[in-house]
């Protein structure tokens, strides 16, 4: 199935011919890539469907007085899915004057500002 997906994406009509011509190391590479981040995004679509069904069951449960927590799409992904690490933005709360802000902007663009 992976070979068919790759051929479809690359515009190769003869899947069997491509499979016979490709080195096994190349196919092993793409199998490894697919194991971590599926080509064709089947995991994501399946997880979205699972999450929508969970929402539906939560609504049904709520009408019967039960409270059900709905999982996120990432929670519905298989265990081997590599989740992006949570990133907390660092915000500098130090007050800055408009002149300092302008100087920082100019410096980031490669201009020499000031003295």
Same domain? 4 vs 36: yes
Please indicate, yes or no, whether residues 2 and 35 belong to a single structural domain of this protein.
Answer: yes
Residue the block writes with tokens 């927590």:
69
pLDDT, one tens digit for every residue, the chain (115 residues): 678 878 877 888 888 898 889 888 888 888 887 777 666 667 788 888 989 999 898 888 888 888 888 888 888 887 767 676 777 878 878 888 888 888 888 888 888 766 5
75 DSSP 8-state letter: G
Asked, for residue 56, whether it belongs to a domain, the answer is yes
Residue 21 lies in a domain: yes
Cα Rg, the chain, nearest whole Å: 25
> Does any domain span residue 49?
yes
Q: Are residues 26 and 52 in the same domain?
A: no
**Number of domains comprising the chain:** 2
Residues 61 and 67 sit within 8 Å (Cβ to Cβ) = yes
Q: Please spell the DSSP secondary structure of 95-106, one letter per residue.
A: ---HHHHHHHHH
By residue range, what is the domain housing residue 25?
1-40
- Distance separating alpha carbons of residues 90 and 13, to the nearest angstrom: 49
Same domain, 52 and 22: no
């Amino acid at each position: 199935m992976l070979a068919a997906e790759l051929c479809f994406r690359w515009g190769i009509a003869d899947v069997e011919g491509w499979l016979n011509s490709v080195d096994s190391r190349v196919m092993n590479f793409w199998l490894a890539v697919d194991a971590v981040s599926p080509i064709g995004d089947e995991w994501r679509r399946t997880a979205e469907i699972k999450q929508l069904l969970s929402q539906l069951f939560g609504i049904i449960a709520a009408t019967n007085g039960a409270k059900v927590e709905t999982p996120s799409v990432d929670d519905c992904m298989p265990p081997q899915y590599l989740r992006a690490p949570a990133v907390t933005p660092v915000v500098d709360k130090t007050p800055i004057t408009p002149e300092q802000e302008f100087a920082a902007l100019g410096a980031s663009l490669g201009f020499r500002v000031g003295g």
